[in-house]
Amino acid sequence: MKGQLAYYSNKLEFETDSWDLKTALEKGERIVVIDARSVESYRREHLPGAINLPHRTMTADSTRHLDKEILYVIYCDGVGCNASTKGALNMCRLGFRVRELIGGIEWWKRDGYQTESSSSAR
């Protein structure tokens, strides 16, 4: 039982789902959502307010402007894509607090939440 408690507690510390993310954003929690996919994929469609930081470009220089005191939720396409895992690992190595959005943009849409394209991005 002790092992299971540790496992599930750790899992929730490192992952989030679309409902929890949407609720946290609506409450105004200090979260930045990062799309770890390519620039082209981001331009086509992304979560509202997300910034694009492809996992391959995450370096100390490219993240210098980001606040290390807040939480970053990183996503990609979803099942079958590991850009969010690579991005979360990169950001963690750079000293950021991160969680991975399970299911990525696909599960976000499946749950009925809106997306935007670069033409409607802020």
The span from the CA of 62 to the CA of 21, in Å, is 24
pLDDT tens for residues 47-74?
A: 999 999 999 999 999 999 999 999 999 9
Determine, yes or no, domain membership for 101.
Answer: yes
- Total count of domains within the chain: 1
96 domain residue, yes or no: yes
Asked whether residue 15 is assigned to any structural domain, the reply reads yes
Percent of the chain with pLDDT over 90: 90
Place of tokens 């200090």: 30
What CATH number did the domain enclosing 77 receive? 3.40.250.10
Q: Within a domain: residue 119?
A: no
pTM, whole model, 2 decimals? 0.91
- Identify the domain containing residue 103 by its residue range: 2-110
Residue among 77, 78, 76, 69 at smallest CA distance from 98: 69
| pLDDT tens digits, 102-119 | 999 999 999 999 999 986
In a domain, 99, yes or no: yes
Measured CA to CA, the distance from residue 71 to residue 119 in angstroms comes to: 26
